[in-house]
């Protein structure tokens, strides 16, 4: 498998990252994950725009244009023969010697870009069956809109969920549900679909963006409105959304069934609308 290292496509074993890279020392960097279906990227523009937006928020100057990045990513999935799979990309601010907190002068530091691919098919069986979740306090920072590589808060929550036998952690701040540890979270009550609005408390998910659009186009009632743990417990259906999971039903929370304990009709409809959007852009 080849990878991108700065502006080159190389063998993974050729990549050398400096031990004083600020990504390694401070988690001073950002990332994104985009998915390809049938050898074509889905919502590539949106993912590249979000990467550039995250970079801008931390004053990190990316060493390429959006067009150049899209060309390199397309080349990579072609070389690695990725039909359906994910591309993980990250950029760190680069090497800062000696280790020092302030951002170095951008003229004196070169950001380090890497991208890798994995082949992952859609997990239809899990999408039919759903997954379990555990409610965990959201202990992350207050800039969750930046897709930062600093993910300790997220991985601690996910680990907590896994230790208790759940697949995902649903996070809340003082009873207000924000998102999951690696996905956005939604609930359905009386045929209205709710998810937390964008802002500094959640990642502006691209899957969320697509689902909002297809749901509205299909005439479903959708509200980007925060909801509480109490609302969640009384909801009819719950699901998580992300690039890698699409719309994934959550059928049990803290060991209790959500609604009937089976995937509900609204999530099923949204899954279909999402697949239609994918097929529209990437073919069948």
Contact residues for ligand PMP, defined by CB under 6 A? 33, 154, 179, 182-184, 203, 205-208, 241-243
Which candidate in 62, 76, 134, 203 is catalytic? 203
Largest CA distance in the chain: 58
| Half-sphere exposure (Cβ direction) of 70: Cα atoms closer than 13 Å | 15
- Report the candidate in 174, 187, 163, 86 with the shortest Cα–Cα distance to residue 138: 174
Contact 224, 216 (CB under 8 A): no
Q: 272 — alpha (psi -120 to 50), left (phi > 0) or beta? A: alpha
Smallest gap, in angstroms, from Cβ of residue 53 to ligand PMP?
Answer: 12
Is 279 a catalytic site residue? no
What number of other Cβ atoms are within 10 A of residue 35's Cβ? 24
Which candidate in 44, 60, 134, 147 is catalytic? 147
Is 270 a catalytic site residue? no
Smallest gap, in angstroms, from Cβ of residue 28 to ligand PMP?
Answer: 18
CA–CA separation, 250 and 127 (whole Å)? 9
| 8 vs 224 by CB, closer to ligand PMP | 224
3-state secondary structure of 56: helix
Contact 258, 235 (CB under 8 A): yes
| 10 vs 155 by CB, closer to ligand PMP | 155
| 33 vs 58 by CB, closer to ligand PMP | 33
Is 31 a catalytic site residue? yes
| 27 vs 79 by CB, closer to ligand PMP | 27
Smallest gap, in angstroms, from Cβ of residue 260 to ligand PMP?
Answer: 26
Is 179 a catalytic site residue? yes
Smallest gap, in angstroms, from Cβ of residue 243 to ligand PMP?
Answer: 3
Q: Are strands 131-137 and 168-173 parallel, antiparallel or unpaired?
A: parallel
Task: Write out the catalytic residue numbers.
Answer: 31, 147, 179, 203
């Amino acid at each position: 498998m080849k990878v991108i290292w700065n502006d080159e496509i190389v063998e993974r074993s050729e990549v050398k990252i400096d031990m004083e890279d600020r990504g390694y020392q401070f988690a001073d960097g950002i990332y994104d994950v985009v998915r390809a279906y049938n050898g074509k990227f889905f919502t590539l523009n949106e993912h590249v725009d979000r990467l550039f937006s995250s970079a801008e928020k931390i004053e990190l100057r990316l060493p390429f244009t959006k067009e150049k990045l899209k060309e390199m990513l397309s080349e990579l999935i072609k070389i690695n023969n990725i039909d359906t799979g994910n591309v993980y990309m990250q950029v760190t601010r680069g090497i800062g010697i000696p280790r020092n907190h302030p951002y170095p002068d951008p003229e004196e530091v070169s950001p380090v870009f890497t991208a890798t691919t994995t082949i992952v098919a859609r997990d239809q069986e899990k999408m039919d069956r759903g997954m379990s979740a555990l409610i965990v306090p959201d202990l992350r920072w207050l800039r969750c809109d930046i897709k930062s590589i600093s993910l300790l808060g997220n991985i601690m929550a996910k680990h907590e969920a896994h230790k208790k036998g759940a697949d995902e952690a649903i996070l809340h701040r003082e009873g207000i549900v924000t998102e999951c540890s690696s996905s956005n979270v939604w609930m359905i009550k009386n045929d209205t679909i709710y998810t937390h609005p964008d802002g500094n408390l959640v990642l502006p998910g691209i899957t969320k963006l697509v689902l909002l659009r297809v749901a509205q186009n299909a005439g479903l009632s959708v509200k980007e409105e925060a909801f509480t743990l109490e609302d969640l417990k009384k909801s009819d259906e719950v699901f998580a959304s992300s690039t890698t999971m699409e719309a994934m039903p959550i059928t049990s929370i803290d060991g209790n069934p959500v609604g009937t304990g089976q995937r509900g009709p609204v999530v099923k409809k949204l899954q279909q609308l999402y697949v239609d959007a994918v097929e529209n852009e990437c073919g069948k």
